[in-house]
Amino acid sequence: MKKRITVRTDEQAAEDGKPRRMRADAQRKMTSLLQAAMEVFAKSGVDAPVREIAERAGVGLGTVYRHFPQRSDLIVAVFQTQVDACADAASEIARKYEPAEALARWMQRYVDFFATKRGLAGALHSGDPAYTALPAYFNKRLQPALKTLLDAAVAAGIVRPGIEAGDLLRAVGNLCRGVHGEEPVYARRMVALLVDGLRYGASTASKPADSIH
């Protein structure tokens, strides 16, 4: 009886972080799952049933939950994939077009990305801790991408300086969400108010308990 039983092929396992290479079919199912989820989310929103995604991907339910233990993990994965794609598109667009055109095109690309996010806003505001890290990732990837385009446009003398990439991203996001057009003015005014509250002469803030009870 050959007794080496499963010699634990961990040769390349302990090297990097990944415990072991993924089986070929698993890899295939995973990508087709992500693709299907992307399409379904775009069509029916992020509240679409997991079964619908599994069926579209030609995959069993168990497979879905093997790769994405929670429904939210699938949503997060799709979101990150699309954010990455959008961020990566910036450098390619910058290579193909002049600064002004590149900026305009990427913004269009960004809007398209937002257009497929039906229902995600609700999930983000739901308080579910599974999504709390998403906005940070969002900024981390998209802000530098836009900043390079913006800097190039400024350097070319086409766009005025002093525009923050993050502000621009938020502005576009708000424009895509609803009709709250006066958003930036409102925010600036209220923050100015808050800063005024820090000035000398006000006492309530430092001892809030005094004005209550």
Which residues here bind DNA, judged by CB under 7 A? 2, 4-7, 9, 20-26, 28-30, 47-52, 58-63, 65-67, 69-72
Nearer to its own copies, 20 or 177 (CB): 177
Which of its own copies, DNA, none sits in contact with 9, Cβ below 5 to 8 A by type?
DNA
Nearer to DNA, 50 or 163 (CB): 50
Task: Find tokens 């996001």 and name the residue.
Answer: 173
Which of DNA, its own copies, none sits in contact with 211, Cβ below 5 to 8 A by type?
its own copies
| C-alpha distance across the termini of the chain, in Å | 82
Alpha carbon of residue 1 to chain centroid: 54
Which of its own copies, DNA, none sits in contact with 24, Cβ below 5 to 8 A by type?
DNA
Angstrom distance (rounded) from CA 107 to CA 168: 10
Angstrom distance (rounded) from CA 80 to CA 178: 23
Q: How far is the CB of 51 from its own copies (least distance, A)?
A: 21
Which of its own copies, DNA, none sits in contact with 31, Cβ below 5 to 8 A by type?
none
Angstrom distance (rounded) from CA 24 to CA 30: 10
Nearer to DNA, 63 or 82 (CB): 63
Spatial contact of 127 and 72, defined as CB atoms under 8 Å apart: no
Q: What is the DSSP string of 58-76?
A: T--HHHHHHH-SSHHHHHH
Which residues of the chain form contacts with its own copies (CB under 8 A)? 45, 101, 104-105, 108, 118-119, 121-127, 163, 167, 170-171, 174, 178, 180, 185-186, 188-190, 192-199, 201-205, 208-209, 211-212
Which of DNA, its own copies, none sits in contact with 45, Cβ below 5 to 8 A by type?
its own copies
Task: Find tokens 């497979």 and name the residue.
Answer: 63
Nearer to its own copies, 35 or 154 (CB): 154
Collect all residues with Cβ–Cβ distance below 8 Å to 54 and sequence separation of at least 6: 33, 36, 60, 61, 63, 64
